[in-house]
Structure 1
Amino acid sequence: MTLDIHIQGKEFQLHPLGGLFWKEKSLLLISDVHLGKVNHFRKFGAAVPRKAIHKNFVLLDMIVTDFQPFQICFLGDLFHSSLNKEWELFENWVAKTPAEIILVSGNHDIIAPEKYRQLNVEIFPELIIDNFLLTHHPEEREGLFTFCGHIHPAVKLYGFGRQKLKLPCFFKSKNQIILPAFGEFTGTYTMNPSKNDEVYAIVENAVMKV
């Protein structure tokens, strides 16, 4: 179940897979997919099941089906490292996805831009749309509201006794929202919200404000 929020008078939807949809622009924002990470780990002997390679593409298909966006913008770290066999899967995914795809580069995006351009995927260091900054690293810039990733935010919830639960989340401060990592096997970083921050945790198949 998605959750509707308003930022600076614009309508957005938070998806439990970790994407954020800008309704007026029909623009889907996704961060930190880290494609190729499973193959990267397997190359160095990690016991990661081969079927996990396809999981990210299944999830991408699901969220694209839900929103049917005109554009998809990846907010950095689309690929985890250098080229490997998952690039072919990405080529096939791009070919069958009707949306225009763009990439705001992150620190892990080391694949040559020419490879993306061959797929008609444009790469930018950052984008400014209206009064919104789309970037990979968190950054607060005067006069702009930032959408970003990189941190893989999560929040810890405590219950009675010693019960605690760590959940990925969308982490919103006054002028910025950090998207959770979309990719499998990415890990998380626990955030410590202040009283002015807003935390939207992903709980099973729903997004909830906590």
Structure 2
Amino acid sequence: MTQTIQIKNQEFILHPNGGIFWVEKSMLLISDVHLGKVAHFRKFGAAVPQKAIHKNFILLDEIVSYFQPFQICFLGDLFHSSLNKEWQFFENWVEKTPSEILLVAGNHDIIAPEKFEALGIKIFQELEIEGFLLTHHPEERDSYFNFCGHIHPAVRLQGFGRQRLKLPCFFKKKQQLILPAFGEFTGTYVLEPTKEDEVFAIAEDEVIKV
């Protein structure tokens, strides 16, 4: 189940896979997929299941099929490290995906820009669109609302008794929304909300305002 919010008179749909669909622009925002991370860790002996590689592409296919966006904008850390065998999977995914793809470069995006450009992917350091600022690292800039990633936000919830849950979330401040990490094999960082913040946790295929 999704959640719909309004920001600057624009409509945004939060999806439980971790992306945001900007309705008026038909643009899907996704952050911190970290493709290649599984292969990178397996190369150095980490016991990470091979199926985790394909899970990222399954999740991407699901959300793209759901929204059918005109554009997909990755807000950084699309690929985790240098080239490895997951790059070929990514090439195949791009080839079959009809949406235009944009990349706002993150700190992990160290692959040569020419490799992305050869796939028709445009790379930016940041994007300014009608009062919205799209970045990888959180930014504060007068008169702009910032969509960003990098943090891998999560929220800790108190359950019955001593039960505690840590859930990935969309973390919304007055002029900023931090997207959860989209990638299957990524960690999270717990943020403590203030009274002014809004938190939308992801739990069992639902986006829940908490």
**TM-score, scaled to structure 2:** 0.99
For structure 1, which segment, 155-164 or 8-17, has the greater mean C-alpha deviation from structure 2 after superposition?
155-164
Matched to 2:139, the amino acid is: E
CA distance in 1, matches of 2:180, 2:109: 18
The equivalent residue for 1:134 is 134
Checking the alignment, whether the CA contact within 8 Å between 2:52 and 2:185 is kept in structure 1 is no
CA distance in 1, matches of 2:124, 2:143: 20
Residue 20 of structure 2 is aligned to residue 20 of structure 1: yes
Q: Deviations over 1:116-145 (max 9, x none)?
A: 000000100000000000000001110100
Q: Deviations over 1:172-192 (max 9, x none)?
A: 000000000000110000000
Residue 33 of structure 2 is aligned to residue 36 of structure 1: no
The equivalent residue for 2:172 is 172
Q: Deviations over 1:33-79 (max 9, x none)?
A: 00000000000000111122111001100000000000000000000
CA distance in 2, matches of 1:119, 1:9: 34
- Name structure 1 gaps, 5 residues minimum: none
Root-mean-square deviation over aligned CA pairs: 0.5
**TM-score, scaled to structure 1:** 0.99
Matched to 1:159, the amino acid is: G
The equivalent residue for 1:73 is 73
The equivalent residue for 1:103 is 103
Matched to 1:192, the amino acid is: E
How many Å apart are 1:203 and its aligned residue?
Answer: 1.1
The equivalent residue for 1:64 is 64
Residue 198 of structure 2 is aligned to residue 192 of structure 1: no
How many Å apart are 1:161 and its aligned residue?
Answer: 1.7
CA distance in 1, matches of 2:159, 2:57: 35
What is the SS of the residue equivalent to 1:69? coil
How many Å apart are 1:160 and its aligned residue?
Answer: 2.6
CA distance in 2, matches of 1:51, 1:191: 30
CA distance in 1, matches of 2:79, 2:171: 23
The equivalent residue for 2:203 is 203
The equivalent residue for 2:5 is 5
State the identity as a percent.
Answer: 75
The equivalent residue for 1:113 is 113
- Name structure 2 gaps, 5 residues minimum: none
CA distance in 2, matches of 1:121, 1:185: 24
Checking the alignment, whether the CA contact within 8 Å between 2:27 and 2:72 is kept in structure 1 is yes
The equivalent residue for 1:181 is 181
What is the SS of the residue equivalent to 2:95? helix
Count residues in correspondence.
210
CA distance in 2, matches of 1:13, 1:66: 11
Q: Which structure 1 residue ranges, 4+ long, deviate > 2 Å from structure 2? A: none
